[in-house]
A and B are shown apart, each in its own frame.
Chain A
Amino acid sequence: MLQLTGVKKTYKAPHGLVRALRGVDLTVERGEFVAIMGPSGSGKSTLLSMLGMLSAPTKGSVMINGRETNAMNDRERTRLRSEAIGFVFQFPSLVNTLNVRENVMLPKMLVSSIGAADIKRADSLLEQVGLQGRGDDRSFQLSGGEQRRVAVARALMNDPLLVLADEPTGALDHETGVSIMELFRKINEAGKTVVMVTHDQELSRYAHRMILIRDGVITE
């Protein structure tokens, strides 16, 4: 499903060059649930951005479903991202000017018109994440945990093969965090590949495999 070979990423920063990734080799099989762990600044989020084609590696190869992403143009990458990848972000990512249902439908709304089937799917996804009947609510009326559930439902809107989550339980209390992780387990059991960045060792037990990254290098 995912194959990274010799991936390096270097940023220009005010204090000089930052080597965020220093040659990462990683393979994720279809249907796996992988947790990427590491201290702050170790390159976890950068690695996730490579997997989701949100940024290009300085060196090395990123292959998704057997396709070399470096060889793709922006349009092809956007299309693959739209069709095959769902994102759950670390930050509050719901759009306040949209209601809950519209937030779930956002990946569709951004690229095409919304039809009755999309509304039905959004409502079904809201039901799956335990928010049935809340579609017409404003996103700011939801609690932090509920907002994160909506973000998970949104990641599934286009029925992707791969779900990438960056600290999906960040800023949530333990109980809510666990319920979100249960959601990811269900998503994985439904056949989706899940790659999640977290710094919470306890939550990483939901994953099939744990990858430790330190100073831009995978250590185990």
Chain B
Amino acid sequence: MWQRMRWAWRNLWRKPLRSSLLMASAAITAAILFLSYFFISSMDRSLTASESRFGADVMVVPKNYQAVASQMMISGEVSPFYMPASVMDKLKQIPEIEAMSPQLYLETYSGVCCQVQGDFPVVAFDPETDFTLQGFMSADGKEMGRDSIVLGSEAGGKNAILHLQYKSYEERVDLFGQTFEVARVLFPTGSGADNTIFMTMDAARDLRNRENNELKYPKDSISVVLVNTKPGDDEFVRRQIERLVPEVSAVTGNNLRETINKQLFPMRLLSYSMIVIVLLMATLQAMTLFSALVNERMREIGMFRALGAGKWSVYRLLFGEAVLASVFGAVVGVFVVATTLHDNQGVLTKAFRLPLVFPDLISTIGLAAAAVLLTALIGVLAAAVPIAGILRHNPYDAIREGE
């Protein structure tokens, strides 16, 4: 086995330029396959995480703002849209609603938060009624008050989390002219919340009511209401809300998922098309290179047959060469892409404006292995066609034609 592999490896280096091209082609193929699947997987994981953060059966937004709400879920960016807080009173009339909690999207803060520089959306929430963030909130920390904030994991939360267990720990952030203390942090959610700073609704109202306030949102307003219903009542509640409160729109988790999927469809289509095109191109390219490599060895193959090698023995030898070239190239390609992605996660997330949740190490290794295997399979398939062509000749003709 090892002897045969060593022989195959030496055979590859008979034609160093062509074998290098073959390996480079395999590297590019595997890299693109890995990259495409990596992004699709990251997007899916992010959407799943967003849904679980959404954690509500129904989301109530101002009339005609469903699309903006779903965009917000995709990009994690806060859009300023508002409706009167009195909407909450109307919603209380629906008996099928079990819980509801408002959120108010303020503005984006640009600055440093727990040694992290960036643009952080600021959102107000009601700690009394909240049921979406609490599942991600750190156990260590302080009670929320009017001058407290909660940090998303990427908004400095990662830096603060280790220190929150110490009562003496104090981290302060100046927002819109007022100093806030970090009370808690959120564990990574894989959604826009990771990049967000949360304050209480009371604190937001205080800021709004101050003289020379920097916040421009309308008085007594909210952006969304997150609603939990009795099991199976979400669609019924959605319709009830739109009937009773005409100035709002309501979307269920399923609606949102569908809308998001629709919006992401072109990107998915592009990724899958790219995968198909890459596979096709790589197969044709490898087939061309292998045709040249194999045809040059027609006499040798004829001689092997004369020396007693069956067709399968010839396939095995040349497949060994194809697999070696493909796997070697693919491993290099995947390694380069994986390390580049790992080192530039933040840059990529910002560049794509998507809350990408990168797969964990095990999943990444699985994806890498799948890309390498698929590339090796392409190599074998590409080699099979010219080998089969030569093996159609009888050994004597192969020897003569190869002369």
Contacts and interface: CB of A to CB of B under 8 A. Distances in A.
B307 interface: yes
A97 B4 contact: no
B3 interface: yes
Contact of B1 (A85, A89, A107, A113): A113
A91 B313 contact: no
B304 to A, nearest CB: 6
Contacts of B313: 110-111
Interface string A60-90: 0000000000000011001101110101010
B11 to A, nearest CB: 5
Given A56-B394, A97-B10, A109-B4, A74 B307 contact: no
A40 to B, nearest CB: 14
B307 to A, nearest CB: 5
A13 to B, nearest CB: 11
A93 to B, nearest CB: 6
A180 to B, nearest CB: 19
B53 interface: no
Contacts of A142: none
A106 interface: yes
A171 interface: no
B78 to A, nearest CB: 64
Tell which of A78, A93, A98 has the most Cβ of chain B within 10 Å. A78
A54 B11 contact: no
B305 A78 contact: yes
B346 interface: no
Given A54-B399, A98-B7, A110 B304 contact: yes
B305 to A, nearest CB: 7
A183 to B, nearest CB: 18
Contacts of B16: none
Contact of A78 (B300, B303, B309): B309
A55 B395 contact: yes
A97 B11 contact: yes
Contacts of A109: 3-4, 7
Given A95-B300, A98-B7, A110 B307 contact: yes
B306 interface: yes
B188 to A, nearest CB: 52
A172 B305 CA distance: 26
A55 B396 contact: yes
A111 B396 contact: no
Interface size bracket, A side: 20 to 34
Given A87-B307, A91-B403, A97 B7 contact: yes
Interface in A93-139: 93, 95-98, 102, 106-107, 109-111, 113-114
Contacts of B395: 49, 54-55
B391 to A, nearest CB: 9
Contacts of A158: 308
Contact of A74 (B4, B7, B311): B311
A50 to B, nearest CB: 9
Contacts of A98: 7, 10
Nearest to A108: B308
Nearest to A78: B310
A81 B306 contact: yes
A218 B30 CA distance: 60
A54 B403 contact: no
Contacts of A96: 14
B308 A93 contact: no
Nearest to A50: B396
Nearest to B402: A91
A49 to B, nearest CB: 4
A8 interface: no
B37 to A, nearest CB: 36
Interface string B74-95: 0000000000000000000000
Contacts of B311: 74, 78
A54 B399 CA distance: 10
Contacts of A74: 310-311
A54 B3 contact: no
22 contacts: A46-B396, A49-B395, A78-B310, A79-B308, A79-B310, A81-B306, A81-B308, A82-B308, A82-B309, A95-B300, A96-B14, A97-B11, A98-B7, A107-B307, A107-B308, A109-B4, A110-B304, A110-B313, A111-B310, A111-B313, A113-B1, A113-B3
Kindly list the 4 A-B residue pairs having the minimum CB-CB distance in the complex, ordered from nearest.
A82-B308, A54-B396, A110-B309, A49-B396
Given A55-B395, A85-B308, A110-B308, 14 more contacts: A54-B302, A54-B394, A74-B311, A75-B310, A78-B311, A82-B307, A87-B306, A87-B307, A97-B11, A98-B7, A102-B3, A109-B7, A111-B313, A158-B308
